[in-house]
Chains A and B, each alone.
Chain A
Amino acid sequence: DGGITQSPKYLFRKEGQNVTLSCEQNLNHDAMYWYRQDPGQGLRLIYYSQIVNDFQKGDIAEGYSVSREKKESFPLTVTSAQKNPTAFYLCASSIQSLGSGELFFGEGSRLTVL
């Protein structure tokens, strides 16, 4: 089945540690996105990539980094510079860069900083 796979589903991290969230898609989509969701908040864009080896900052990129070495993969690293990393992280992809394409989301990764 085609879809987006995020791992791990749950992750605990100590303060000061970097952590990388995996996102893989087999939908052959060009564009991929990382969003963050906090309680009572909408989805906020962290980074997006329209094509391999290229990515752009979203609204809240500080403290995060990404790479897009392969079309299928768009990992997100939450660095120690991110002040409030505890959140629900969602990866998404689309057939083309928005704005007229719908997003397909993974099931999310919940990161908790202890």
Chain B
Amino acid sequence: DQQVKQNSPSLSVQEGRISILNCDYTNSMFDYFLWYKKYPAEGPTFLISISSIKDKNEDGRFTVFLNKSAKHLSLHIVPSQPGDSAVYFCAASVGPGGSEKLVFGKGMKLTVNP
């Protein structure tokens, strides 16, 4: 049973436009969410996170939105750049005192076309 779902395996957008990557989760105990970016043959790098006490977190071109009632989060990239082309993983965890494990989605491949 997959607790973190990224239902779309890929997304293609034009440079300068908005990229929206979606993630759904089933475990209501999750209270911390992270996005990682991964280039081929490299390890993932941390991109942005959000705690369940917030519904939005922004860092430059990247914004993550959290809808707790829908158990849904999304990553917005504006404007998209060709260097953003990578696989993006959504991940979730239970806060201190809970699970020690970070649960990852399957990833979504973003392609930004020049």
Contacts and interface: CB of A to CB of B under 8 A. Distances in A.
Interface string A1-42: 000101000000000000000000000000000010000111
A99 B106 contact: no
B32 interface: yes
Nearest to B97: A99
Contact of B100 (A40, A44, A56): A56
Contacts of B100: 48, 50, 56, 97-99
A35 B107 CA distance: 14
A2 to B, nearest CB: 14
**Chain B interface bracket (under 10, 10 to 19, 20 to 34, 35 or more):** 20 to 34
A97 B100 CA distance: 6
A98 B93 contact: yes
Contact of A98 (B41, B51, B102): B102
A106 B42 CA distance: 8
B101 A45 contact: yes
A59 B104 CA distance: 12
Interface string B40-58: 0111111001010000000
Nearest to B101: A45
Interface of A: 4, 6, 35, 40-45, 48, 50, 56, 58-59, 90, 92, 97-100, 102-108, 110
